Amino acid sequence: MTVSARNEFEVFLSIEQYDLRDKPSLLRYRLSNLSRMATAEDVEGTDEDGPEGTVVEEDRETARDGGEPVGDEDDRYTRKKSVLITGCSSGIGRATAAAFLREDWQVFATARDPEDIADLEDAGCTTFALDVTDPDQVARAVERVVDVAGAIDCLVNNAGYAQMGPIEDVATSDLHRQFDVNVYGPHRLARAALPHMRAQGAGRIINVSSVVGRVSFPGSGAYSGSKHALEAMSDSLRAEVEEFGVDVTVIEPGPVDTNFSDRVDEELPESERTPAYESLYEIYGEMQLIGGGNGGPFASSPEDVAAAIIESATTPEPPARYPVGPLAQYGVYARFLPDPLRDAGYKLLRKLV
């Protein structure tokens, strides 16, 4: 039995750890893996100069008996797993790319400007430009992963930004741009990746949301609205694709110690701020100092979020959501508070500031 087959058999032997009665597709996938590995065993070999488990090129191209080509299914058991990550120029995306490299994945790291991720290519990633608002770039990105890696095992929708400010101060065009990146972008990528994942019989889609995708705060209506939409879309998608062996999870960080808050300030300069909301902007500033992206006491590190993404990508049956950080845990419970109680909390915060 090959190394890959032995590993899969060990997983199957431990299958009683998981309740697969409500996941028949996963059970079928495990059984079919064992069957295919057993029949492919004579086709596989190891290159004398290569690592254990490398398929000999001659054997890869001819079948055991009749010399017919062996399909891509057999390659799945010897190749590295592949992951496509958006928004890798800094923060969570960059940390996530590095974390997948350490786990020995084939990493496709993207950003709008590939010069921002040149060092990730030096580290071992395949890098290229990807603007998630460009449908043609999205389609080419997914096809490139499949062409190079043979499959797309995991999609991490991380690219995003925060359009902050009171609803009155946010122009409709800015609101549209917020949704184009934070909602329509992940939607475009999921649509491009899913046909391949269905054909593979397996895949992971990981959407990076936020605590504000669970509970809204004054001054975050546009950003929170986009993350609420992403969470709702993820819930529907998870139920729709489970039978195909595809898992969908949502990562929900609280404040993260990145340059994200600098971008937030750029999205609504002081010249565009309505004086009537001065106290609200002051609250926002104080909240950034307490928990935001300036090293506040409640801020998580990008590596903390990357660890949750790795767990989501590798756990046999990942949960639907991964809250990251103490304020994210607050969001899980705050959304169940009665509306008058939440509103009273906002009023108290305004008085304190």
* Catalytic (active-site) positions: 223
Dihedral sign (CA 334, 340, 345, 349) = positive
* Rounded Cα gap, residues 209 and 214, in angstroms: 9
* Rounded Cα gap, residues 6 and 144, in angstroms: 31
For tokens 């108290």, what's the residue?
348
Q: How far apart are the first and last CA of the chain?
A: 67
Decide if 144 contacts 130 (C-beta within 8 A): no
Dihedral sign (CA 287, 289, 295, 298) = negative
The encoded tokens of residue 157 equal: 């929708």
* Rounded Cα gap, residues 196 and 188, in angstroms: 14
Q: What are the two backbone dihedrals, phi and then psi, of residue 214, each rounded to the nearest 5 degrees?
A: -105, -40
Of 160, 93, 154, residue with least CA distance to 120: 93
Decide if 85 contacts 97 (C-beta within 8 A): yes
DSSP-assigned letters across all residues of 170-215: S-HHHHHHHHIIIIIHHHHHHHHHHHHHHHHT-EEEEEE--GGGTS
Q: Where are the alpha helices (DSSP H) in the chain?
A: 3-13, 24-40, 57-61, 72-75, 91-102, 118-123, 135-149, 172-179, 185-200, 221-241, 260-267, 278-291, 302-314, 326-334, 339-352
Of 319, 190, 332, 191, residue with least CA distance to 249: 319
